[in-house]
A and B are shown apart, each in its own frame.
Chain A
Amino acid sequence: MTISTGATAGLTPATEAGICTRVSIDPRGPRFGGAITTVVLAIALITMGTTFGTAVIAWQAIVFALGAFVGLRAQPYGLIFRTFIQPRLPAPAELEDSAPPRFAQLVGFGFLAVALVAALLGATLISTIAVAFALAAAFLNAAFNFCLGCEIFILGKRLSKSN
């Protein structure tokens, strides 16, 4: 079986699309942020159902919103990394594009927005499930350098534009 799209004109090379050609951030920043997020979301799960627990969810939702909509420079955990951690570390071996971690912040915001609305409405189970997924993703990012955009972006595109 020969795979052919028939038209060469339809093919876009990745570099032309600007994929990961911009390098702007220290890759250790998002991983540090993932570690703090893991701790915060664990606290949110343990205190789920209390006013404090809802406040923690609201805080993390704001953090993700800043990272996704304003930029990683405005993200509080990134700020902590650049102010206190980065000056004590050797220079990074290489810089990375900020688009993939920003996408992960956006997905995180989606889960936390659902979790917050559910918590405010008293739907503790839904809130728990949403925070649980966000916790797993944040932990995988911090511990295994898991790339969320790699896993879900193209799959999502395929599903949303399916024939």
Chain B
Amino acid sequence: MKGFYLVLAILILATAFGLWYRANNGRLRTTDMRAAGADEHGGETIDAQTIGVALGARATLVQFSSAFCQPCRATRQILGEVSEMVAGVAYVDIDAEANLELVRALDIRRTPTVLVLDSAGRIRKRASGLPRKADVIAALGDLD
């Protein structure tokens, strides 16, 4: 009987976690204003040399992926489509495992992680998990 209650407790806890996970996964958040060297928009800056592509005139979408990440492919599809659809939006997909130094500097813990940079390379939005396409497009609109 003890084992039965334990199973029940695990399933209830896992369901609570799963609902929280589903609600928060892939949500684009405005990056922390308190970050070191914050200007009016807050946050950190990434330059073109670091990510290996020229920054977009309007925005740059930076994705971090890994080999054992199921939603990375769908994320790539969404971000690729958005960058083709919206003028001035660049997109780069980076292998997190091969770029651990950058991953540490940006404190990336999960894949996929998506950063939305403005035209100056400032990190303005951040999401971990598969983002919704409409949210990415809305985030681009928020940059101006």
Contacts and interface: CB of A to CB of B under 8 A. Distances in A.
Nearest to B113: A154
A22 B98 CA distance: 19
Interface in B63-122: 63-73, 76, 92-106, 108-112, 121
Which range contains the number of A residues in contact with the other chain?
35 or more
Interface residues of B, number: 58
A53 to B, nearest CB: 8
Interface string A141-163: 00111111111011101100100
Nearest to B72: A20
Interface in A1-51: 1-6, 8, 10-21, 23, 27, 42, 45-48
Interface in A117-149: 128, 132, 135-136, 139-140, 143-149
**Listed residue (A20, A47, A103) with the most chain B CB atoms within 10 angstroms of its CB:** A20
Contacts of B93: 13-15, 19
Given A46-B7, A146-B18, A153-B111, A19 B66 contact: yes
B109 A154 contact: yes
A19 B72 CA distance: 8
Contacts of B10: 45, 132, 135-136, 139
Contacts of A27: 70
B99 A10 contact: yes
A19 B95 contact: yes
Nearest to B22: A144
Contacts of A148: 68
Given A5-B102, A19-B95, A149 B69 contact: yes
B97 A17 contact: yes
B106 A136 contact: no
A92 interface: no
Interface of B: 3-4, 6-7, 10-11, 13-15, 17-18, 21-22, 35-37, 44-47, 49-52, 63-73, 76, 92-106, 108-112, 121, 129
Given A46-B3, A140-B17, A146-B21, 9 more contacts: A4-B47, A20-B76, A47-B3, A135-B7, A136-B14, A136-B17, A150-B69, A154-B110, A155-B109
